[in-house]
Homo-oligomer: A and B are copies of this chain.
Amino acid sequence: MKIKHTIQKWHELLEQQKLEILDEILAEDVEFHSPVLHTPQKGKILTKMYLSAAYYVFSQQTFTYVREILQDNQACLEFKTEIDGIVINGVDLIECDENGKITDFKVMVRPLKGLQKLQEKMFELLDQSKAP
């Protein structure tokens, strides 16, 4: 199963706080699909920016993966966390190519309040990063 090694690397990145592993596991033409916005972010640079922002938001919290469904080159990783007392339950849908590089990374979040809270935190962070 192609995705297995990729997901191991992903967990390594989170556990060892090594964001540089993204360079190794993302394909050049990877697409990132946010839980909030319709239009995907295309390419390694934008995907790294979004995943890093999500990493900083979630790493302040009690983020845990609670379910893992893997098949062929596809993975569905379910997570739970809490921000400011609001429960956030979501999935990372990850697809890799035949070299194990991630070509598609999609995030979905429930419930509505959790999605709104995540949006608030992501906007704060991405806005700060644009500040002079």
Contact = CB atoms under 8 A, between A and B. Distances in A.
Interface stretch (A8-16, A28-36, A51-59, A124-132): A28-36
- How many copies of the shown chain assemble into the complex? 2
A98 B93 CA distance: 26
Interface in A14-54: 33-38
A58 to B, nearest CB: 16
A87 interface: yes
Given A76-B76, A78-B93, A91-B93, A36 B111 contact: yes
A113 interface: yes
Interface of A: 33-38, 67, 69-71, 74-76, 78, 87, 89-91, 93, 106-116, 119
